[in-house]
Chain A
Amino acid sequence: MIKFILRRIALSLPVIFLIATTTFFILRLAPGGPFLSERAIPPEIQANLQAKYGLDQPLWIQYGRYLRSLLRLDLGPSYRYPERTVNEIIVEGFPVSFELGLAALLVALLIGVPAGVVAAVKHRGFLDRLTMSVVLAGISVPTFVLGPLFIFFFSLTLYWFPPALWGSPEQLVLPAITLGTPYSVYIARLTRTEMLEVLQQDYIRTARAKGVGEFRLLWRHALNGALLPVVSFLGPAVADLVTGSIVIEKIFAIPGLGRYFVESAFSRDYTTVMGTVLFYAVLLIAANLVVDVLYKFLDPRIEYR
């Protein structure tokens, strides 16, 4: 088990290096720069700034310096917020995004799994068709339509929840539901397909022949097998939640990492952009690793070596 995890971590290191290198050169080869923006800065100040951050050095020296600081887990100073480092920005913004993502994932699972199970059990029945239509409608409405719609109804019309900002639990509700809905839809679909498959298995018939009731049949015998693919979907889902979070944070004015990323991208804040991308890459690789470990834990057929 430990060996498996260590092997996976070792395999990820070159990937992270690759991402660092690719983003570094994409950013530097692109026209423009952090201090060449619309505001007219006097040339001497510009030169000073360039020198301060080492941007006047040859590219490969900058690259080497960046890699060296990466080894110390130092993502460098932010160009946009001169008094802060990228590490500080991530430490500040990520917990917010994380809380939002976790709440959304919970929403997705709590809606998606029961909906999928009901649809599968009532296969081709009215409830199946209803659930699946809702599911398709759910995929077809983008989050950035859903978000404003929720704000419009639940905040501006019904005054149930605050429309924006962050901090209190009520402020978590709307963003989490908005972000979680599309994934609940995917999870419902996946659960349904897998459940249909599992319900045809011979061992389900065996359980019936023993006199097992319908509820116990679903809960004890079918759900475990049907949820394995859902678990493995959670890895990529984390990636989607992370990107989805960018839009949600914009709509609800939430000070999360996604917003920092977009803002720093627009202002060509190299270090913050790279830092965030690298951070998310590591996060996603870690999330996939956790999912794989969880999967092995849930499936008794896979034995650790």
Chain B
Amino acid sequence: MPESPVLSLENLKTYFFTRSGTAKAVDGVCLDLRKGETLGIVGESGSGKSVTCLSILRLVPPPGRIVDGKILLEGRNLLELSKRELRQVRGKQIGMVFQDPMTSLNPFLSIGDQVAETLLVHEQLSRRQALRRAAEVLEKVGISDAANRLADYPHRFSGGMRQRVMIAMALIGNPKILIADEPTTALDVTIQAQVLELFRQIKADFGASIILITHNLGIVAGMADHVAVMYAGRVVEYAPTEEMFSRPRHPYTLALLATLPRPGEGGNDLQPIPGTPPDLTRLPPGCAFYDRCPFHEQHCLEEAPPLLPVGKDHWASCWVDFTAGR
């Protein structure tokens, strides 16, 4: 790799210790985020993509706990920081946009106060200065007449507008990294497109590296430079976006691609993935995708495949090369 990554996860493990057993929500994830690039993380719900991102800022709620691994932000392991140092990272170095803008904004505080708070916490600014900056950033993310709307409460804003507020809140500290956890899932389709457009613009304007989490491969296609596909708490495939779409090497990625409608082919041959994701408290010793995999072999049942290079900058964890036969 030409440049050292801004953020890299090494063998990250986040487990949830529930009464019914230990759920291995994130089980040995390794990922790199390069400077200025957008990394898409794709997977079904429960694949561990959200927990991975919460782990980065150490926001995993109990009974979840990060049990192993490293999270290196420009070489500094976030897992070894004190609470104080960690707060310096949150909001300042890494900004985060959550999935549901309806519940992620505090209904009792005005949006001006909420956006400005990131600055107030990290910089020596007066409230007035912080509010002025907040208005600027809100204007930038597409809220017109922002200066006059600072005193409004979140319930006065539509879902799309609230997501813009969330994005402004994450951007105002000028973070190196922006993590967006399904930022468009809770929104109407037309609004989704607007918000995605906003992300593209942010990437150009702010120069931040972005992690974009989604269950929708279609969103990743237009946005990301690299894509990581997660399944049952692990990264099963990692590749440049083009490569991932043209030459998938993991059966799960293949199945995901088959669920996408393709222009010109009509909607009839959309393939749902048979079966359900495995119970994370009782993961098999072999490949977690075994039950749902059309290519599985005896060996898959015995040993879980590691993430191995299968091409240039392309990694996959599968014992079978299903492309060989075609």
Contact = CB atoms under 8 A, between A and B. Distances in A.
B121 A202 contact: no
Size class of A's contact patch? 20 to 34
26 contacts: A202-B103, A202-B104, A203-B105, A203-B107, A205-B104, A206-B105, A206-B166, A207-B117, A208-B59, A208-B90, A209-B57, A209-B91, A209-B95, A210-B117, A210-B169, A211-B88, A211-B90, A211-B92, A212-B117, A212-B121, A213-B121, A225-B106, A225-B107, A299-B108, A300-B108, A301-B153
A37 B74 CA distance: 92
Given A216-B121, A220-B109, A300-B107, A209 B90 contact: yes
B100 interface: yes
B87 interface: yes
Interface string A186-205: 00000000000000111101
Given A203-B103, A213-B87, A301-B155, 20 more contacts: A203-B104, A203-B105, A203-B106, A205-B61, A205-B98, A205-B104, A206-B105, A206-B166, A207-B106, A208-B90, A209-B98, A210-B91, A210-B118, A210-B173, A211-B89, A211-B122, A213-B121, A221-B109, A225-B107, A301-B153
A13 B84 CA distance: 58
B109 A209 contact: no
A299 B103 CA distance: 16
Interface in A64-79: none
Contact of B59 (A205, A216, A301): A205
A202 B98 contact: yes
Chain A interface mostly helix, strand, loop or mixed?
A: helix
A211 B121 CA distance: 7
A206 B121 contact: no
A224 interface: yes
Given A205-B98, A208-B90, A211-B89, A224 B121 contact: no
Contacts of A206: 96, 98, 104-106, 166, 169
A299 B154 CA distance: 12
Interface string B74-104: 0000000000000111111001101010011
Given A202-B100, A205-B98, A211 B106 contact: no
Contacts of B61: 200, 205
Interface in A160-203: 200-203
Contact of A224 (B88, B104, B108): B108
A200 B109 CA distance: 17
Contacts of B92: 211
Contacts of B89: 211
Contacts of B118: 210-211
Contacts of A213: 87, 121
A133 B103 CA distance: 33
Contacts of A299: 108
A202 to B, nearest CB: 4
Contacts of A301: 107, 153, 155
Q: Which 3 A-B pairs have the closest CB atoms?
A: A211-B91, A211-B90, A210-B91
Contacts of B170: 209
B159 to A, nearest CB: 14
Nearest to B99: A202
A191 to B, nearest CB: 16
A208 B89 CA distance: 11
Contacts of A208: 57, 59, 90
A163 to B, nearest CB: 45
Interface in A214-261: 216, 220-221, 224-225
B25 to A, nearest CB: 16
Nearest to B169: A210
A128 B169 CA distance: 34
A228 to B, nearest CB: 9
A13 to B, nearest CB: 34
A208 B170 CA distance: 12
Nearest to B106: A203
Contacts of B57: 208-209
B96 A209 contact: yes
Contacts of A203: 103-107
Contacts of B166: 206
A300 B152 CA distance: 9
Contacts of A225: 106-108
A203 B170 CA distance: 13
A118 to B, nearest CB: 18
B106 A221 contact: yes
Nearest to B87: A211
A221 B61 CA distance: 17
Contacts of B122: 211
A201 B61 CA distance: 11
A202 B99 CA distance: 10
A287 B198 CA distance: 50
Nearest to A225: B108
Contact of A209 (B59, B103, B110): B59
Interface string B135-168: 0000000000000000001010000000000100
A82 B170 CA distance: 74
A203 B89 CA distance: 19
A247 to B, nearest CB: 38
A265 B30 CA distance: 79
Interface string A262-305: 00000000000000000000000000000000000001110000
A210 B90 contact: yes
Contacts of A224: 108-109
A276 B61 CA distance: 54
Nearest to A124: B62
